[in-house]
Chain A
Amino acid sequence: DTAVSQTPKYLVTQMGNDKSIKCEQNLGHDTMYWYKQDSKKFLKIMFSYNNKELIINETVPNRFSPKSPDKAHLNLHINSLELGDSAVYFCASSLQGLQNTGELFFGEGSRLTVL
């Protein structure tokens, strides 16, 4: 009964390919996020959705396209993969409204390697 689950955990692909990572949360949270963690472990927010609506879109190439079919799911599609896209991508979720403290609940991460 994993709270935030991502698939796949590992992804190895060639430059120029298109790939997707899926995320699901069963915590009943309204807000979901994608973070990118580079080789130096630095965490950078990419996107945030609140109840299927995009609310944060940091400076990310438009090759990255998030999709939220419902508030429990947030997928990330990446077109024309580049070497620099190699990283660990984390999905996270949080409460909104009066209960919101900023606390994030993270998935296990998806390690993307672009060759």
Chain B
Amino acid sequence: AQSVTQLDSQVPVFEEAPVELRCNYSSSVSVYLFWYVQYPNQGLQLLLKYLSGSTLVKGINGFEAEFNKSQTSVHLRKPSVHISDTAEYFCAVSDFSNDYKLSFGAGTTVTVRA
């Protein structure tokens, strides 16, 4: 079974500073990769996804992620955060070995301060 590890449970960051959220996964086969965001008291919405092609994926709200197959990682970045980026961020992975059922990481809480 896959496992997804988000290396930071909490990331405090100042407004307009860059942020990087780290995610590693364990899978020996081709994978699909996702980052979801959950704003306070809301559901999860898709930030970005990697299915194939370029390993640099652009998402919504200025986020992007770099997929590194050799290191089995997909780190999420934003060059300059806003207060409104305060949220929970989830990394998720799927592959054919479990019928593409998503495996989620434990989440990273990003708190943006002025």
Interface residues of A (CB under 8 A from B): 4, 40-43, 45, 48, 56, 90, 100-109
Contact = CB atoms under 8 A, between A and B. Distances in A.
A90 B44 contact: yes
Contacts of A41: 38, 88, 106-107, 109
Given A56-B101, A102-B32, A108 B42 contact: yes
Does more than half of chain A's interface fall in helix, strand or loop, or is it mixed?
A: loop
A109 to B, nearest CB: 5
B92 to A, nearest CB: 8
A56 to B, nearest CB: 7
A109 B42 contact: yes
Given A40-B106, A41-B109, 7 more contacts: A41-B88, A43-B90, A45-B101, A56-B101, A90-B43, A101-B100, A104-B102
A40 B107 CA distance: 9
Q: Which of A4, A41, A43, A106 has the most CB of B within 10 A?
A: A43
A103 B34 CA distance: 8
Interface residues of B, number: 23
B94 A102 contact: yes
13 contacts: A40-B106, A41-B107, A41-B109, A90-B43, A100-B100, A101-B94, A102-B32, A103-B34, A103-B46, A104-B44, A106-B36, A106-B43, A109-B43
